Amino acid sequence: MRKHHVAALLIIALFGVAKFRFEQRLTEEHRAAYFHGARFQLSMRQQIGQSEFIAALSGFRSLVADYLWIKAEIAWEHTEYGRMALLFNNVTALEPRNTMFWDMSAWHMGWNASVYAFRNPKEPREALRVKAQREYFRIAEDFLLRGIANNPDSYVLYDRLGNLYKDKFEDHLKASQAYDKAATFPNSPSYEKRFAAYHLSYCEGHEREAYDRLVKLYKMGDNERLPTLLTRLNFLQEKLNIPADQRVYHPPEK
């Protein structure tokens, strides 16, 4: 080895020493800004195949995630919901910052897979069909909760969690809490606040709080005085026996 080769090696090594800690710090800063959240595990290598795993490691993980997503869509066409769940797990592990993947995975599990499980013609026992259906609800909830853990700065998954609790679990309190959380984000749609109040109005023991929130929305103006709000407000006025002179809303006489 000649002198200039040694000099070159020395320069690279010195630069390496200088960059070592800086790169580690920069990685930490990236992580704090929610970058590089993908987790590569050996189980994933077995599930997605060697070439896809290498491609994902080589900086093309979004392409691999898209490819797996399309595979999941094909599995959907063949009603292979178990396989879909497995593929969704890999897609979301590769792209944890993509709320669309978490959202759609939960939707497929909570709405499509659960309905299929409930109507499964191969299972004559209703109890088992209901059990399978509830399991898919839980998988959908799990996708959304993991999605929220990876994307705490987005309202979207809180909104979808609210929808899941409302439509599938029929748990109005949890739905209201999820919509409430979504409403705290500055870029969230205005209906999140409304939805939170509507669903709270169905909860036993929370009538007063719900009433106060509905009144507050009602006083915000005509834009908020939508049919559901008026119906729920009237319902609570009756239920809480609000005196006529204190009622803000007087439904038209039939």
Partner 1 sequence: MSDSVNVLPARTPHKIFSPARVAAIASNTLLELVRLKVFYFLLIFALLIIAASGFTSVFELQFQGEFQILKDMSLGAMSIFTLLLSILTTSAMLPKDIEDRTLYTILAKPVPRVEYLMGKLAGVFLLLLISVLVMSAMFVAALYAKQQWAIAATMHNGALTPEQMHYGILDIKAHTFTMSLVPCITLIYLTSALMASLTLLISTFATSSIFTIFIATTAYFIGNVESVAREYYYSQTSVSQVAKIFLTALALFFPDLQLFNLIDDIVAGNAIATTLFLKTAGLGCVYVTVYSFVAYVIFAFKEL
Using CB under 8 A, pick the residue from 46, 79, 190, 228 that binds partner 1: 190
CB of 251 to partner 1, least distance (A): 23
Q: Is 106 within 8 Å of 164 (Cβ atoms)?
A: yes
Q: Given the complex with partner 1, which of 8 and 248 has the nearer CB atom?
A: 8
Q: Given the complex with partner 1, which of 87 and 236 has the nearer CB atom?
A: 87
Sign of CA dihedral 101, 103, 106, 108: negative
- Which listed range, 11-19, 209-217, 228-236, 237-245, lies at the site for partner 1 (CB under 8 A)? 11-19
CB of 181 to partner 1, least distance (A): 18
24 binds partner 1 (CB under 8 A): yes
228 binds partner 1 (CB under 8 A): no
DSSP string, 117-178: HHT-TT---HHHHHHHHHHHHHHHHHHHHHHHHH-TT-SHHHHHHHHHIIIII--HHHHHHH
Using CB under 8 A, pick the residue from 191, 218, 235, 249 that binds partner 1: 191
In this structure, the dihedral spanned by the alpha carbons of residues 162, 164, 170 and 172, taken in order and rounded to 10 degrees, is: -10
CB of 103 to partner 1, least distance (A): 8
Buried b / exposed e across 155-179, counting CB within 10 Å, b at 16+?
Answer: bbbbbbbbbbbbebbebbebbbbbb
Site for partner 1 in 149-178 (CB under 8 A): 154
Residue 224 burial (CB count, 10 A): 18
Q: Given the complex with partner 1, which of 57 and 130 has the nearer CB atom?
A: 57
Q: Is 84 within 8 Å of 76 (Cβ atoms)?
A: yes
CB of 94 to partner 1, least distance (A): 8
17 binds partner 1 (CB under 8 A): yes
38 binds partner 1 (CB under 8 A): yes
- Which listed range, 24-32, 118-126, 175-183, 239-247, lies at the site for partner 1 (CB under 8 A)? 24-32
95 binds partner 1 (CB under 8 A): yes
Using CB under 8 A, pick the residue from 98, 105, 163, 237 that binds partner 1: 98
Tokens coding 254: 């039939």
Burial (Cβ within 10 Å: 0-12, 13-18, ≥19) of residue 111:
middle
CA separation, residue 232 to residues 36, 202, 213, 225, 237 (Å): 45, 9, 11, 11, 9
CB of 150 to partner 1, least distance (A): 10
7 binds partner 1 (CB under 8 A): yes
List contacts with partner 1 (CB under 8 A): 2-5, 7-8, 11-13, 15-17, 19-20, 22-24, 26-27, 29-30, 33-38, 40, 57-63, 65-66, 69-70, 73, 95, 97-100, 104, 154, 189-191
